[in-house]
Amino acid sequence: MARYVTKVRTARSPHDVFAYMADLRNFAEWDPGVKKAVQVDGDGGGPAASFDVTVSGTTLRYVTKEYHEPRNLLVVAESATLVSTDRVTVEAVEGGSVVTYDADLRLKGVLRVADPLLKLAFGRIGDRAAAGLRTALAGTKVE
């Protein structure tokens, strides 16, 4: 299992940040690993939304599993080889919001033996995505 968690403080409102994060088409703006994100179901973020997200030559279908505006979003993609679970939580704070992005990537079956290598690579990938998210939200890292 590879997991990456980052927190970003931004002056943007919880509703604004949640809407931005729930529309996975925006992933391509801030995550350099995402080549393309296309909406398949719904219109923007929402409880019935799903998106095809292309990373490293592979397209994963992310389906919204939890949608509690403006504070909690869970999207999941599953392929024959992996399960990707992304949770976004938004907390209202004085002067804006704190966004927590929690990404979990799990290999399936015999591929699990490669989890330690995946964990190392995912850390580097996550660092680049976190930097992009801070830029997109005009935010700062929360320790």
Give Cβ neighbours of residue 136 (< 8 Å, ≥ 6 apart).
20, 26, 29, 30
CATH of 2-141, one of 3.30.530.20, 1.20.200.10, 3.30.960.10, 2.40.50.180: 3.30.530.20
The reported pTM is 0.92
Domain map of the chain by residue range? Answer: 2-141
Main-chain dihedrals φ then ψ at residue 109, nearest 5 degrees: 60, -140
The residue count of the chain comes to 143
CA–CA dist 140, 13 (Å, integer)? 15
Instruction: Kindly report, residue by residue over 81-123, the tens digit of the pLDDT.
Output: 889 999 999 999 999 999 999 999 888 877 666 666 656 566 7
Instruction: Kindly report, residue by residue over 44-59, the tens digit of the pLDDT.
Output: 999 999 999 999 889 9
Instruction: Kindly report, residue by residue over 14-32, the tens digit of the pLDDT.
Output: 999 999 999 999 999 999 9
